[in-house]
Amino acid sequence: MLKNKYIAFYAPIKPPDHPIPSGDRLIAQNLVKAFKILGANIELASGYIAYSKRYDEAILIERKSGALEEADKLIKTYLSKPIAYRPQLWITYHPYCKAPDWIGPIVCNALKIPYITIEAAKTGQGGEEDNWRLWREEAQSGIIKADRHLVFKPTDREYLSELLNSTQKLRSLTPFIDAENMQLAEPTPLPAHWHKQTPILITTGMMRKGKKEQNFQILSQALKDLPEDFNLIIVGGGPEEEAIRFAFSHIDGTRVYWTGSIEHSEVLRWMRTSDIFIWPGWKEPIGMVYLEAQLQELPIIAYKSMGVPLVVKDNKTGLLAPEAEIDSFRSNIRRLLKDKSMRQTMGINGRQKVLSQHGIIAASKSLNTHLSDLIN
């Protein structure tokens, strides 16, 4: 049992309390909550960020050096405590090529405690030249030292199975959010000029370069020249906001509302105001936002890409188009815009699915099952 056990938690990509919202931050926060539900004494071991946007070797050397210094400090701190108050388990969330974990394996070896990874992954960055090769090797050198790996996605299971040449240390974990404590939000009033009978689409994402901007571009093209009437709420902000606004300039400006960067509670209120959540999810590892949207009884329109089918049930809680088939994506938009009854049924199904299959209570029980034997 994990109750009353001391657990050290570390996320090399960014700590759970990082000011920039993201899916990985939300997962880290919910993991900490799940352990606390079990009665575990979980604490953030370090806020050191190993993540890098660029594959520069000089950055790699600098990040690793800083991590090794951090590990040395932690070891001294932990060894100065009575054994009963030292960590009995170390959890590292999401080590991968852009964010290797140099700290956890060293600390665990010094303290003689189990080392666990959650969502250890391999990304597609690097292209044919594989510029991230050195970073990936550093990440893998830590990953292979873990005593157990908890995986969300089939692709991560395949990656780890190949890396470890075994599935013995792998355990599956269903993507989850704190569904039990998320009520239906109070809707935000509509812009005064919007007709109440016109379906409202909502999308949300960080406006930055890379796949986030690409997803906005895909959505922009899918909405181009649709014969059906709709309004669109776009939630989010970031350095590429100007370029993304330009991408949607083909839509009548009176039908688009830009919220900018807003608090999470406000995002949920705008979701509750809307009729359909739409985000392509191209190369989306999991897509925690789909779980939040479904909890607000929104049907989903997305691609059947990577981790999206793990959280959205095609033809039950949303419509998923084959990845990169923009015509199918557009067809699904038109289908839901025209069918209010389908929207409502999928919305109800979505909330029920999240509450029954993706709640934090069930996740905490799984964590206890998967990890207790390592301590006992």
189-235 tens-digit pLDDT = 999 889 888 999 999 999 999 999 999 999 999 999 999 999 999 99
Question: Do 152 and 205 fall within a single domain?
Answer: no
The yes-or-no verdict on residue 249 having pLDDT over 90 is: yes
How far is 31 from 52, CA to CA, in rounded Å? 23
pTM of the predicted model as reported, rounded to 2 decimal places: 0.91
Whether the CB-CB separation of 91 and 120 falls below 8 Å is answered with no
Domain of 325: which CATH number? 3.40.50.2000
pLDDT in tens, 301-321: 999 998 999 999 999 999 999
| Whether the predicted pLDDT of 148 surpasses 90 | yes
Q: Are residues 262 and 240 in contact, defined by beta-carbon separation less than 8 angstroms?
A: no
Q: What is the mean pLDDT of residues 80-92?
A: 96
What's the CA gap between 43 and 143, in Å, rounded? 21
Among all chains, which residue has been given the structure tokens 């069918």?
339
Is the same domain home to 128 and 164?
Answer: yes
Asked whether residue 205 falls in the same domain as residue 312, the answer is: yes
Whether 162 shows a pLDDT value over 70: the answer reads yes
Do residue 156 and residue 197 come from a single domain?
Answer: no
Whether residue 164 contacts residue 323, with contact meaning beta carbons closer than 8 Å, is answered with no
Q: Look at residue 82 and tell me if it is in a domain.
A: yes
The per-residue pLDDT for 199 is 97
Alpha helices by DSSP H, listed for 252-359, are 264-273, 288-295, 308-311, 326-338, 340-357
Specify the number of domains making up the chain. Answer: 2
Which residue segment(s) compose the domain that 271 sits in? 180-357
Assess whether 205 and 286 both reside in one domain.
Answer: yes
- Could you give the CA distance from residue 61 to residue 66 in angstroms, rounded to a whole number? 9
Quick one: 207 and 255 in the same domain? yes
pLDDT in tens, 93-142: 999 999 999 999 999 999 999 999 999 998 765 455 678 999 999 999 99
pLDDT band at 22 (very low <50, low <70, confident <90, very high): confident
What confidence category does residue 286 fall into, taking pLDDT thresholds of 50, 70 and 90? confident
Residues 191 and 142 in one domain: no
In this structure, the answer to whether residues 156 and 204 fall within a common structural domain is no
Residues 155 and 236 in one domain: no
- CA distance to 93, 130, 140, 361, per residue, from 306 (Å): 19, 20, 21, 25
Say yes or no: 156 and 276 in one domain.
no
pLDDT at res. 363? 97
- CA 109-110-115 angle, to 5 degrees, is 35
User: Dihedral, CA atoms, 214, 218, 224, 229, nearest 10 degrees?
Assistant: -110
Asked whether residue 1 is domain-assigned, the answer is no
